[in-house]
A and B are shown apart, each in its own frame.
Chain A
Amino acid sequence: MKYIDEYRDPQRAKALFDEIRRKALHEWTIMEICGGQTHSIMRNGIDQLLPPNVRLVHGPGCPVCVTPLESIDRALAIAARPGVILASFGDMLRVPGSDRDLFMARSEGADVRIVFSPLEALQIARDNPDREVVFLAVGFETTAPANAMAVWQAAREGIGNFSELVSQVMVPPAMRAILSSPGNLVQGFLAAGHVCAIMGWEEYEPVAAEFGVPIVPAGFEPVDLLAGILLVVEMLEAGISGVRNAYGRIVTREGNPEARRIMNEVYQVADRPWRGIGIIPQSGLVLRESLARFDAEKRFDVGHISPRESPLCRSGEVLQGHLKPSDCPAFGCECTPMTPLGATMVSSEGACSAYYKYHRNTTP
């Protein structure tokens, strides 16, 4: 299959592994930002084949994982209201709120639907003018343009029964938070290829300069990831900071200006709580005041939400690269994909779920 097979070619991968082994003379800790990258690394066992002095830690780039519990509880409360259709990407349905998840809400009679695009949710609103359709708009910069487009369209067509429960977050503020945290171990980053396809890499240049780290936009296939790791290792060994691109077939310095335009038209930057991490300043997107009528949080008064996190869950440390999932005492015992204590064990992109799924007994 074109554009897949050549980036999964074992020969090319082997050459890159050899090159990394040759170039890496010191101990390095590299964080891959995106949960999709984490899964590809675990699925293909890339971590097992890297030299021991090149250590990967897993970043916060899983939208499901960092969505605050409060947003999930709010979604559950809105979904339970009569007349509401709650539309969501499939990943969100199994994420536990304080006492249940959206699957359970559905079995109790809530109308919860899985969609593949926010525009599908908008279509549901057009088809059901007497119902309120709420889309759970979660994600990083990758999903933001499409989520913005749904609101933009709804405004243009005057669709009055559509709204979004917005929990959008952005990568650069999270990188700054990780690099400024006292116990930080991360020396270089693989930036998330799909996020950079939208945002370009320009906005990473000040982060690289301020903290003196290499940042390399990278893809998701084994050869893409290895090319990214090699570039970070080369920059670390040479003492170079800055941004260099290892995902040239998708990412440019400018990104996709048209997608960013629609994002900026619909959303504005705001402080945002990240599940397991806390509030990161200027790290989220919320609907602009002029579009407040599409904001489900304002539209539905569900009273005070007081979320209760499991005291055993240490996903915040996992998301910042301080803790490997398998080193968490609850991993594989109290916390499994069937009985997840935190979202990192639920999402298909969560680091804990990746460890459980692919390596729970084979990881040393």
Chain B
Amino acid sequence: MQLSCPAPILRHETVQMAHGAGGRLSQELTRRVFMPHLQNAILDQLDDQAKFDVPPGRMAFSTDTYVVSPLFFPGGNIGELAVNGTVNDLAVGGAVPQYLSAGFVLEEGLPLAELEEIVRSMADAARKAGVMIVAGDTKVVQKGQCDRIFINTSGVGFVREGVDLSCRNLRPGDAVILSGTIGDHGMAVMTTREGLSFQSRISSDTAPLNGMIHAVLDVVPGVHAMRDPTRGGVAATLNELASSSSVGIELDEASIPVRDEVRGASELLGIDPLTIANEGKLLLVVPESGAAAVLSVMRSHDYGREAALIGRVVDDHHGMVVMKTPFGSRRIVEMPLGEQLPRIC
């Protein structure tokens, strides 16, 4: 039989408005791009909600939205970041992350190959972190209404018994420990961004920290606080901790690990590495007596090999972070203002 009107094209190279309209193309997108990578017993039901069993005790719930540009950067992409980010936000609260949802806002015209690459990375990251992506949603917006792809991930985890992590728990005398070099993620993104044309070997540190965090808590359950210093960097996170606990924090400049490449790029751009985002680093505050054990567990872990004791909590300059310089002077480590502004000369 001869068809009298052209059949709709079902195999596209790029995202079309119809991919988000709930019809045949939406189905095709799910079948071709999402399911092959993300499938698991819960998601495969394709119901409007995920259903799972819950153990007794407390749950943790977190959400974050990812709008990074460029989508692909040395060391990772937006998909990996979206999974690791929510995994880490749950884990630093002492929760074992279990189930994630993923919401996508796609810009019309996004190459499907790029979308698939991102989804594949999300699946890999979920596997690595030991979590399942059990619910999802996709919307498509017209060209110019978003920057290619925005991803929201939300997640739930189950809080370990006997663990009490809070930004209000810091006590004078506590040790401040950092899991490794700072500024890698932010600098990898900044140096890749259009317009910044120097070559660098800086890679994002995006990583799931739940494995290391729970290894630490197995040995030292009395850790006072944990945070992953993402936007605003170590400077923002420590200022928040100092202010929430009404204590001071004193850092030792010489002990803070920074890669030479990151230092070099920071010098050129006039940006303080302490204010640059990390996506796979852990800041941890622990009573002095537990510091050595924490450091030893972290250093035996892939994501904590360069862990270092970088400072102490003090009963002085409450709400402020102060840096001891190698020259013996002191300066305030300020809460960063907002957007990083490269200097003129």
Contact = CB atoms under 8 A, between A and B. Distances in A.
A91 B326 CA distance: 28
Interface residues of B, number: 28
B263 interface: yes
Interface string B329-345: 11110100101111111
A91 B332 contact: no
Given A10-B326, A357-B332, A91 B344 contact: yes
A134 interface: no
B270 A348 contact: yes
B325 to A, nearest CB: 5
Nearest to A8: B326
A5 to B, nearest CB: 9
Nearest to A63: B344
A14 interface: yes
Interface in A77-106: 89-94, 103
B196 interface: yes
Nearest to A356: B334
B327 A10 contact: yes
B266 to A, nearest CB: 11
Contacts of A222: 327
A1 interface: yes
Interface of B, helix, strand, loop or mixed by DSSP: loop
Rank and list the top 8 A-B pairs by shortest CB-CB distance, nearest first: A45-B329, A90-B341, A358-B331, A10-B326, A89-B344, A142-B345, A48-B329, A90-B342
Interface residues of A, number: 46
Interface stretch (A113-121, A275-283, A314-322): A113-121
A140 interface: yes
A139 B331 contact: no
B188 to A, nearest CB: 17
B337 A337 contact: yes
Contacts of A138: 344
Nearest to A34: B345
Contact of B341 (A139, A348, A362): A348
Nearest to B271: A348
B56 interface: no
A361 B345 contact: no
B330 A361 contact: no
Nearest to A120: B195
Contacts of B344: 63-64, 89, 91-92, 138-139, 143, 349
Interface in A44-78: 44-46, 48-49, 63-64
B260 interface: yes
A272 interface: no
B44 interface: no
A348 B339 CA distance: 13
Interface in B186-222: 195-196
Interface in B292-315: none
Contacts of A44: 325, 327, 329, 331
Contacts of B340: 90
A149 interface: no
B144 to A, nearest CB: 14
A158 to B, nearest CB: 24
Contact of B320 (A91, A115, A361): A361
B64 interface: no
Nearest to B320: A361
B8 interface: no
